[in-house]
Every structure is written in structure tokens, then in C-alpha cells.
Amino acid sequence: MSRYRGPCFKKIRRLGTLPGLTTKSPKDRKDRRNQSGSRKKSQYRIRLEEKQKLRFHYGLTERQLLKYVRIAGKAKGPTGQVLLQLLEMRLDNILFRLGMAPTIPGARQLVNHRHILVNGRIVDIPSYRCKPRDTITAKDDGKSKVLIQNSLDSSPHEELPNHLTLDSVQYKGLVNQIIDSKWVGLEINELLVVEYYSRQT
């Protein structure tokens, strides 16, 4: 299954806020399906929606998310927590959390177009897994810095998670440590995601 490129609001109305997907908010309007009745969701649908929330927020294909779940399952520690750490430490997500890109798709475009350096070297792989003490900077040219400055100017200036540090003057971010689960940028029940995949095999 390919990466989703359809209407963002459609997913937000169904799954709730997805800050990594879009900076826009849909107009207040009640979902007709909710008006027609309060039919109880099945356990399968609840798990599916949590999985979809994770997938669309981080901009992953189904195959990519399944790969991360399998990696997390083989690692030490709770599978759900490790899964979120793997996703949060992706380069595209780090750029988004630093405010250097307005959304995760926007961050992915910055990386693909070779505007970003990690430890002084250009990295053009959005899924690159950042590590503690990695430095993320803009390429030393005007266009790269303008793109990042525009994002920094328009970002809501929310408190940075404690695993990141930003020097906005130098267009430089620093990964201090592996993210703590309480700083994950999405309200998600990761255990339901793990359950979803465990029941598919």
C-alpha cells in the first residue's frame, strides 16, 4: 500500500488531530455518521484506527509501519514504547519536532531535496534514524535557510521535547538522547497498534 496523498481533513475527521500531517484544521462541522447514532465501535475497529493514526501522522506506508513493528518486537523493552521511539527518532520527524519544517511531509521534502545535513554530511533519506549527539543543520546556502526560517517563523513555538535542543540562529538542532515516551508528539495507545499486528499474523 502506497503513502497516503489524499485529502488531509478526511483523515482528521475520522482519526482526530494529526499534527504531523497538516497544520490546518477542518471547519467545525459535525460528522453525520456520529449524528445518525452512537453505534459502539468493535475492538477491531478501535485497534485499526489507532494503527491508522500512527501511520498517517508519521506519513508511513503500511509496509514501512509493519517493518517498524517487527523491529520493535525484536528489541529489548516494551514493543509499543520501542515502536514510538523508532518513529520519533526518524530524521523527518526530528525536523518537524524542532520546528524546522511545518509538517512531516514538509520535512521529508527538505530531506529529499538535500537541504539537510546530519553531523556535517548531507542526508537525503527521511527515514534516517537519528542518534544521541547527532547535529542536524541546514545546508549552507540561502534557499535552505530561507525555507527553514519560514517554518520557524510560522511555528507555534511550543515547548521542545527534552531530547532535542534548537539553535534557531545557527539553524541547528541537537539530539540529546533517545526520546522519553511522555514527549511523543501524538496521543496514541501504542499497545493497541501492537495488538492489531499481533492479531494479523
pLDDT in tens, 26-79: 554 444 444 444 568 888 988 998 999 889 889 899 999 999 999 999 999 999
Residue ranges and CATH numbers for the domains of the chain are 8-86+186-198 (1.10.1050.10), 90-177 (3.10.290.10)
How far apart are the C-alpha atoms of 139 and 141, rounded to whole Å? 6
pLDDT per position as a tens digit, 125-137? 999 999 999 999 9
